[in-house]
Amino acid sequence: MRTNYCGLIDAKYLNQTVTLYGWVHRRRDHGGVIFIDMRDREGLVQVVCDPDNVTAFQSAEKIRNEFVLEIMGTVRHRPAGTANPNLVSGEIEVLVQSIEILNASLTPPFLMDDENLSEAVRLEHRYLDLRRPQMQANLRLRYKVAMAVRVFLDQHGFIDIETPMLTKSTPEGARDYLVPSRVNIGHFFALPQSPQLFKQLLMIAGFDRYYQITKCFRDEDLRADRQPEFTQIDIETSFLNEAQIMALMEEMICGLFRSVMNIDLPTPFPRLTYAEAMSRYGSDKPDLRVPLVLTELTDVMKEVEFKVFREAAQKPGGRVAALRVPAGGELSRKEIDDYTSFVAIYGAKGLAYIKVNALEKGLEGLQSPILKFLPEAVVNVILARTGAKDGDLIFFGADKAHVVNEALGALRARAGHDRGLAESGWKPLWVIDFPMFEHDDEENRWKALHHPFTSPADGHEDLLETDPGRALSKAYDMVLNGSEIGGGSVRIHRQDVQSKVFRALNIGAEEAHEKFGFLLEALQYGAPPHGGIAFGLDRVVTMMTGEESIRDVIAFPKTQRAQCLLTHAPSAVGEKQLRELHIKLRHVEALKG
């Protein structure tokens, strides 16, 4: 029987005989004495093989990195001056009595403590990558987060209930992953984008408080913080309003950071309306560590000579805004050009600027190619509203509001961090009062900003039919350091209100019945007021570990092309399987045509 994990053998085991199992991290031959750093999930222990023990020493000579061993030996102090304070086992070593090689290993493609590895190599050999201490620590922290969430929710009366993985396709959000049915020819299941409808049905069923840590699937373009399959902490409760739900979830997240990371988040979390967040920060998930804010200038740009500003200010839904960067006058032309290229990613056609060299000199103390197109009175308004000081640089965005917001919002975060203006620590907040809908100009119709089951704000129900663009919702997002970590809302619990929302979304009665008939029917049988939230477990753990990609906190992730390099999935399937599913593949050439 194993005495304990390698990394947990310490001074309390002195002079005891221990049995250990693990992998060879490194083998070192020092003048006839062989040292083995033996590793398991808890860390390292130093093992010493003395040549006087002929049998054990002969085994040790055969050992190489990543061999799997069983070691029996005596715990003793390390020699004076050789202790390692960074290890639990740093004061001791194990003098080998016997070694059994349980399995040999090929020479691994990389060392387990190598920090400069390509992601492709890591993902191709993920079972080895996961042996690395950093990855072991990441997944152990993920486990602690999940356990802390379960403990909190259990203590507050939530019940863990599983919902189906094979469900109905309701393509109102992201693209579904479809699963063909062999039994029901020509029909398809969809993998769930979230358990949204089922958790609402559980509230109607009277379970009152539900949670689930579950997989969700979305067939969408990937980024560093997205995967085709991801893990969601899904929560729903009845008879609480949005303020009560937010208070409970704030308590959960604060407790989570306290228990897992020994960090006290600042409470209460500040609350920003969606309109305030977009106006001040250009984002509905602002990083409050960055003190920079956007300045509204649309009203003063409607008659200026500069065409870019004037047209943006005059067009419906247009915006002109400024971003003051303290001491930004130090930026080189190349740095400004780099920022110009950066905002182009978000649709900005350019990035005008004014350098403030000396305010006391008036226009002569300013530097910009656009100054000749702006009246002095307008320039003075810009300087006053932005609070400009000598040495500052003012960037401008002018376009449709959503382009300006996305471009300047992203620039605000990047410049704030680049220029060392961001504070350290954790800055949580709630964003509330989201619009019910956003307009899709291409399809010329309204789409749900969150999802179509979100309740309208009090007093906004009539707007669903008269002026959908003005209708606000009972939705709320929890944001931390510029990332949305959770989003939720109070749901619609009345069938007539749900039907109004479907009509506002241009979903007719027949289509609504086909897609959501089961929900509309269920809402007629005493549905309680209810609401909930879902947290992205992968994203929360990524932030806690300080990793840049959620792939580093998922055991077996996909690449940005939605591929598994370890198993080579997705892959082609045989003709027999396709025939059983009554599926015939179209030729690639035909698809290109």
548 labeled part of a ligand binding site:
no
Answer yes or no: is 539 a known binding residue.
yes
> 37 has which bridge partners?
26, 46
Q: Is 484 marked as binding a ligand? A: yes
Q: 55: burial class by Cβ within 10 Å (0-12, 13-18, 19+)?
A: exposed
Sequence letter at residue 414: R
Side chain identity at residue 521, one-letter code: E
The answer to whether residues 174 and 232 touch, using CB atoms and an 8 Å cutoff, is: no
* Cis ω before 180 (30° cut-off from 0): no
- Which of 524, 541, 515, 511 lies closest to 141 in space, CA to CA? 541
The answer to whether 227 is annotated as binding is: yes
Cα torsion at 414, 420, 426, 427 (round to 10°)? -60
Q: Residue-wise over 4-21: b if at least 16 C-beta within 10 A, else e?
A: bbbbbbbeebeeeebebb
172 is in an annotated binding site: yes
527 phi and psi angles, rounded to 5 deg:
-70, 130
Say if residue 218 carries a ligand binding annotation: yes
The CA distance from 421 to 418, in Å, is: 8
How many C-beta atoms lie closer than 10 Å to residue 352's C-beta? 20
- The reply, when asked if residue 131 is annotated as ligand binding, is no
536 labelled ligand-binding: yes
pTM of the model: 0.92
Task: Please count the other Cβ atoms lying within 10 Å of the Cβ belonging to residue 338.
Answer: 13
Burial readout 434-450 (b: 16 or more C-beta within 10 A, e: otherwise): bbbbeeeeeeeebebbb
Full set of structural domains in the chain with CATH: 6-103 (2.40.50.140), 140-271+480-566 (3.30.930.10), 290-422 (3.30.1360.30)
506-531 CB burial, b ≥16 within 10 A, e <16: ebeeeebeebbeebbebbeeebeebb
* Nearest by Cα to 395 from 324, 297, 313, 319: 324
Q: Is 537 annotated as a binding residue?
A: yes
Q: What is the pLDDT along the chain (593 residues), one digit of tens a residue?
A: 999 999 999 999 999 999 999 999 999 998 789 999 999 999 999 999 999 999 999 999 999 999 999 999 999 999 999 999 999 999 999 999 999 999 999 999 999 988 889 999 999 999 999 999 999 999 999 999 999 999 999 999 999 999 999 999 876 668 899 999 999 999 999 999 999 999 999 999 999 999 999 999 999 876 656 899 999 999 999 999 999 999 999 999 999 999 999 999 999 999 999 999 999 999 999 999 999 999 999 999 999 999 999 999 999 999 999 999 999 999 999 999 999 999 999 999 999 999 999 999 999 999 999 999 999 999 999 999 999 999 999 999 999 999 999 999 999 999 999 999 999 999 999 999 999 999 888 888 899 999 999 999 999 999 999 999 999 999 999 999 999 999 999 999 999 999 999 999 999 999 999 989 999 999 999 999 999 999 999 999 999 999 999 999 999 999 988 999 999 999 999 999 999 999 989 875 555 54
